[in-house]
């Protein structure tokens, strides 16, 4: 395993009496594709939220590029280059696709002066290019809220790419998308990883997708880390099978 870019050590998070995450530790390798699986309610999204600073964690540490980020707020972490997409797709519904893309350009070094600038020609070209990359070029002047669910997911993915993240955390990118489109999405995710060099960390229920894409997989169950390893190992792990079939 190469140098980890995200290092989660001993993170716990509970809501009242419910322990959503118990002493979870994992590492996301720089430049790779890491998967996170587990039955419904096993704490995958909670862990994502803990990493991106959506809520304070009870204990433990989250490091991004060797820097402790567990005390930072969501926009600050996003500006470091650690970006997430949502399980329930979130786009800016009243704006068209191009505007959605333009507002997603990195805000890392944006000063007060930059806030009042017009978008440059380069920004527009980039928006068009990435919309073309996800196959939404024809629809780019339509209201984002009028697109279908699957197209909104693609738009959200394109917006994430516009932001030029170092790591992209995707929460169920293929949920609710038809099988034909899933193949296209997998291709684009792999391209984003290989061509743009974006490290991917993916929550996924579709085993075919995640087993084909990821080079390392973590499995959560009941808020605890159940197993981890390469896909072939995870697929044959009796504990993982039991957790999914409910024997756990």
Partner 1 sequence: MNKTLLYIALLIISIALPFVFPNYTISLTAMWLLIIVSLTWDMTGGQMGYNSLGNIFFYGTGMYVAAITGISMVYDVGQYTSAAGGGINNFTATQYFSGLGIGAVAAGIFCAISAVILGYLLFGLRGPYFAIGTLGVAIAAGELVSNWEWVGGGQGVSLPVYPGDLDEGKFFFYYLFCTLGIATFIFLKWLYSTRFGAAINAIRDDEEKAEAMGIHTLRYKLVTWSIAAFIVGLAGAFSGYQLIQFEPLETAYQTINLGIFMVVCVLLGGKGTLWGPVIGAILFHVLKEVTWTYFLGWQWVALGALIVVTVVYFQDGLMGWLKHVRPEWFGERVEQKPGSKPSSASQAEAAQ
Structure-derived torsion over alpha carbons of residues 79, 126, 185, 190, reported in degrees to the nearest 10: -70
Q: How far is CA 183 from the centre of its chain?
A: 18
Q: Residue 235 interacts with partner 1 (CB under 8 A)?
A: no
Q: Closest distance between partner 1 and the C-beta of residue 202, in Å?
A: 16
Stretch that binds partner 1, among 1-9, 85-93, 204-212, 237-245 (CB under 8 A): 85-93
Q: Residue 142 interacts with partner 1 (CB under 8 A)?
A: yes
In the complex with partner 1, which residue's Cβ is closer, 36 or 83?
A: 83
- Residues within window 204-233 making contact with partner 1, judged by CB under 8 A: none
In the complex with partner 1, which residue's Cβ is closer, 10 or 145?
A: 145
Q: Alpha-carbon distance 76 to 17, whole Å? A: 30
- Residues within window 92-111 making contact with partner 1, judged by CB under 8 A: 92-96, 99, 102-104, 106-108, 110
Tokens of 149: 């669910």
Q: Alpha-carbon distance 78 to 81, whole Å? A: 5
Number of residues engaging partner 1 in binding (CB under 8 A):
51
Q: Residue 91 interacts with partner 1 (CB under 8 A)?
A: yes
Q: Closest distance between partner 1 and the C-beta of residue 239, in Å?
A: 33
Q: Residue 3 interacts with partner 1 (CB under 8 A)?
A: no
Q: Residue 132 interacts with partner 1 (CB under 8 A)?
A: yes
Count Cβ atoms below 10 Å from residue 29 Cβ, excluding itself: 17
In the complex with partner 1, which residue's Cβ is closer, 137 or 196?
A: 137
Q: What are the residues whose beta carbons fall under 8 Å from the beta carbon of 180, sequence distance 6 or more? A: none
Report the alpha-carbon angle 147-148-149, nearest 5: 120
- Residues within window 57-76 making contact with partner 1, judged by CB under 8 A: 74-75
Q: Closest distance between partner 1 and the C-beta of residue 28, in Å?
A: 18
- Among the listed residues 117, 185, 114, 186, the one whose alpha carbon sits nearest the alpha carbon of residue 154: 185
Q: At what angle do helices 149-162 and 121-133 cross, to 10 degrees?
A: 140
- 187 phi/psi in degrees, rounded to 5: -55, -45
In the complex with partner 1, which residue's Cβ is closer, 120 or 235?
A: 120
Stretch that binds partner 1, among 25-33, 133-141, 216-224, 225-233 (CB under 8 A): 133-141
Q: What are the residues whose beta carbons fall under 8 Å from the beta carbon of 36, sequence distance 6 or more? A: 26, 44, 47, 48, 201, 202, 203, 204, 217, 218, 219, 220
Q: Closest distance between partner 1 and the C-beta of residue 137, in Å?
A: 5
Please say whether the beta carbons of 21 and 15 come within 8 A. Answer: no
Q: Which residues bind partner 1 (CB under 8 A)?
A: 52, 74-75, 78-79, 83-84, 86, 90-96, 99, 102-104, 106-108, 110, 112, 114-119, 132, 135-143, 148, 150-151, 154, 159, 163, 178, 180-181, 183-184
């Amino acid at each position: 395993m190469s140098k980890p870019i995200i290092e989660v050590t001993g993170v716990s998070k509970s809501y009242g009496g419910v322990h959503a995450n118990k002493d979870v530790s994992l590492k996301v390798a720089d430049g790779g594709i890491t998967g996170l699986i587990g039955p419904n309610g096993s704490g995958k999204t909670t862990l994502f939220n803990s990493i991106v600073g959506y809520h304070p964690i009870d204990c433990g540490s989250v490091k991004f590029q060797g820097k402790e980020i567990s005390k930072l707020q969501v926009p600050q972490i996003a500006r470091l280059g650690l970006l997430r997409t949502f399980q329930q797709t979130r786009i800016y519904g009243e704006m068209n696709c191009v505007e959605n893309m333009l507002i997603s350009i990195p805000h890392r070094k944006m000063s007060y002066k930059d806030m009042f600038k017009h978008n440059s020609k380069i920004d527009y070209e980039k928006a068009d290019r990435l919309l073309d990359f996800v196959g939404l070029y024809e629809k780019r002047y339509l209201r984002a809220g009028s697109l279908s669910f699957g197209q909104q997911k693609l738009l959200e993915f394109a917006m994430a790419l516009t932001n030029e993240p170092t790591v992209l955390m995707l929460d169920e990118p293929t949920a609710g998308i038809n099988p034909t489109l899933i193949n296209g999405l997998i291709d684009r995710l792999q391209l984003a990883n290989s061509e743009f060099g974006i490290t991917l960390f993916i929550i996924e229920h579709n085993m075919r997708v995640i087993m084909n894409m990821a080079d390392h997989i973590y499995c959560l169950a009941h808020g605890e880390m159940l197993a981890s390893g390469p896909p072939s190992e995870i697929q044959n792990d009796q504990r993982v099978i039991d957790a999914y079939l409910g024997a756990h």
